[in-house]
């Protein structure tokens, strides 16, 4: 480089040093850790150490009762018949071995306790906090990810939510280490200041109890104020910054958000335009930050008659596929009978594109091959990440991914911009 350009480049390095550092800190990219395909929200009073096995058994029983083989699964869910042949046994295996990937013990909206008198509710919640922590301590690795949702930091519920979180962490750490996949959920956030307050709480818990790793939390986006601040800015982006690296995910709350936007109950849904607007804003705000996205839930449960169950399954599978195609790789489930379609739709999504995605990666790695696409590095990263996601949830095997791409998982992880391979 000529001397004059050397001096100019040095001057630009100095001029942009602060900008470079700020960008690197704000947009660190993915850490490569596994992301669950769903979060199961379970009211705390219904939680015990055997719940995961029971949900898996209930899901399998419902699947066996109401689906008559792969062709029937295809008819109910809209999955291509040839895919259903492969997907159905994968779903059955998943329900036997890992029916719930992420479990959230819920002390917020799911913990209503209407039969408990007002003056007894604090004592009742304290008892369930201690009981749930003791149950979790008996098998903290029953699911890869686990945590609690406590009441919001709005003035009316702040003290109760704080007490629940503190007592749960105290009880659990008194019996065992926090599970590696432990995360807490901060609901009904309306201002970045509440997120900053959550950082303060995390720092207090880390100073008070023996936590092996920094405590991280999810922000639930279920108020319009979390999307659009009073000054018209995207408040969710400010909330991510306010978390100071502790925010692990943004979870969309379908029904609270829709109701706050004055959508009639019959039309509140994951695919309503107000939901798409909120989630698109979340997606742009989180891009490059390493913060994961989760769609919400459908409240159309697969219960009742055979026809009602199958209709609910068809809707659930369609909504999951819609979310996946839009880059939301996680959602909420609320009932054991939703697990079959969670995994059927998810596995079909990855298997449907396996051949094309793997072929494009192979051709990107080896220019002597042709995939029919001219892929740039950013697309190659997305293709590699897609294959790694499919493998981590059980939709794809390591062998078929490696055989079809002509490389190994470590190489795919580097191609995807990930520091490690998720085991």
Please check the confidence at residue 254 and state whether its pLDDT lies above 80: yes
Buried b (16+ CB within 10 A) or exposed e, 353-363: ebeebbbbbbb
Chain-wide mean pLDDT for the chain?
96
Cα radius of gyration rounded to whole Å, the chain: 23
- Domain extent, residue 246, equals 38-351
Of the pLDDT bands very low, low, confident and very high (cuts 50, 70, 90), residue 211 is: very high
Asked whether the beta carbons of 190 and 223 are under 8 A apart, the reply is yes
Q: Which residues pair with 28 in a beta bridge?
A: none
**What value does the mean pLDDT take over residues 170-183?**
94
> Across 96-192, where does the E strand assignment appear?
102-106, 145-149, 182-186
**What value does the mean pLDDT take over residues 156-183?**
96
End-to-end CA distance of the chain, in Å? 45
Asked whether the beta carbons of 35 and 292 are under 8 A apart, the reply is yes
Of the pLDDT bands very low, low, confident and very high (cuts 50, 70, 90), residue 419 is: confident
Please check the confidence at residue 423 and state whether its pLDDT lies above 70: no
Per-residue pLDDT, 1: 63
Per-residue pLDDT, 2: 74
**What value does the mean pLDDT take over residues 49-61?**
97
Q: Does residue 148 lie within any of the structural domains?
A: yes
pLDDT in tens, 308-337: 999 999 999 999 999 999 999 999 999 999
Q: Which residue has the higher pLDDT, 212 or 420?
A: 212
Per-residue pLDDT, 349: 98
Model confidence, pTM: 0.95
pLDDT in tens, 90-111: 999 999 999 999 999 999 999 9
Q: Is 394 left (phi over 0), alpha (psi -120 to 50) or beta?
A: left
Structure tokens at 18: 């602060």
Of residues 381, 383, 382, 378, the one with CA closest to residue 360: 383
Tell me, what CATH number does 216's domain have? 3.20.20.60
**What value does the mean pLDDT take over residues 249-267?**
97
Please check the confidence at residue 401 and state whether its pLDDT lies above 80: yes
Residues constituting the chain: 423
Contacts of residue 223, defined as CB under 8 A and 6 or more positions apart, other chains included, come to 188, 189, 190, 256, 257, 260
Helix (H, G, I), strand (E, B) or coil at 333: strand
Q: Does residue 384 lie within any of the structural domains?
A: no
203: number of CA atoms within 13 Å, CB side?
9
Q: Does residue 163 lie within any of the structural domains?
A: yes
Q: Does residue 389 lie within any of the structural domains?
A: no
- Residue appearing with tokens 């979870």: 251
Q: Does residue 4 lie within any of the structural domains?
A: no
Q: Does residue 409 lie within any of the structural domains?
A: no
Identify the weakest region by mean pLDDT among 8-17, 26-35, 91-100, 344-353.
Answer: 26-35
Please check the confidence at residue 205 and state whether its pLDDT lies above 90: yes
**What value does the mean pLDDT take over residues 344-362?**
98
Q: Does residue 422 lie within any of the structural domains?
A: no
**What value does the mean pLDDT take over residues 357-365?**
97
Q: Does residue 68 lie within any of the structural domains?
A: yes
Of the pLDDT bands very low, low, confident and very high (cuts 50, 70, 90), residue 420 is: low
Q: How many domains does the chain have?
A: 1
């Amino acid at each position: 480089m000529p001397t004059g350009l050397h001096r100019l480049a040095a001057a630009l390095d100095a001029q942009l040093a602060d900008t470079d550092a700020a960008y690197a800190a704000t947009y660190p990219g993915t850490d490569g850790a596994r992301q669950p395909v769903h979060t199961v929200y379970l009211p705390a009073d219904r939680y015990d150490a055997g719940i995961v096995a029971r949900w898996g058994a209930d899901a399998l029983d419902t699947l066996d009762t109401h689906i008559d083989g792969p062709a029937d699964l295809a008819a109910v869910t809209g999955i291509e018949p040839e895919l259903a042949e492969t997907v159905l046994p994968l779903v059955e295996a998943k329900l036997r071995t890992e029916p719930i990937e992420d479990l959230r013990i819920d002390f917020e909206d799911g913990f209503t306790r209407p039969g408990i008198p007002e003056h007894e509710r604090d004592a009742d919640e304290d008892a369930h906090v201690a009981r749930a922590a003791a149950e979790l301590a008996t098998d903290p690795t029953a699911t890869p990810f686990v945590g609690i949702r406590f009441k919001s930091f709005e003035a009316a519920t702040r003290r109760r939510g704080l007490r629940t979180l503190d007592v749960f962490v105290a009880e659990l750490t008194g019996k065992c280490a926090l599970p590696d996949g432990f995360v807490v959920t901060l609901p009904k956030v309306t201002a970045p200041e509440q997120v900053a307050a959550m950082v303060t709480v995390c720092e207090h818990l880390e100073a008070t109890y023996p936590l092996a790793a920094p405590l991280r939390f999810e922000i639930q986006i279920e108020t319009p104020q979390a999307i659009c601040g009073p000054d018209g800015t995207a408040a969710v982006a400010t909330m991510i910054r306010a978390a100071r690296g502790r925010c692990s995910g943004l979870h969309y709350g379908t029904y609270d958000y829709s109701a706050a936007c004055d959508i009639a109950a019959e039309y509140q849904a994951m695919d309503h335009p107000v939901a798409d607007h909120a989630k698109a804003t979340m997606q742009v705000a989180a891009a490059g930050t390493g913060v994961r996205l989760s769609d919400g839930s459908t409240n159309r449960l697969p219960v009742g008659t055979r026809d009602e169950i199958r209709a609910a399954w068809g809707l659930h599978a369609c909504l999951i596929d819609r979310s996946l195609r839009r880059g939301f790789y996680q959602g909420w489930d609320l009932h054991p009978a939703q697990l079959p379609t969670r995994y059927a739709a998810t596995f079909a999504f990855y298997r449907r594109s396996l051949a094309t995605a793997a072929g494009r990666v192979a051709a990107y790695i080896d220019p002597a091959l042709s995939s029919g696409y001219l892929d740039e590095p950013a697309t190659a990263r997305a293709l590699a990440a897609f294959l790694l996601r499919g493998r981590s949830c059980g939709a794809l095997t390591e062998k078929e991914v490696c055989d079809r791409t002509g490389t190994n998982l470590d190489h795919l992880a580097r191609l995807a911009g990930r520091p490690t391979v998720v085991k």
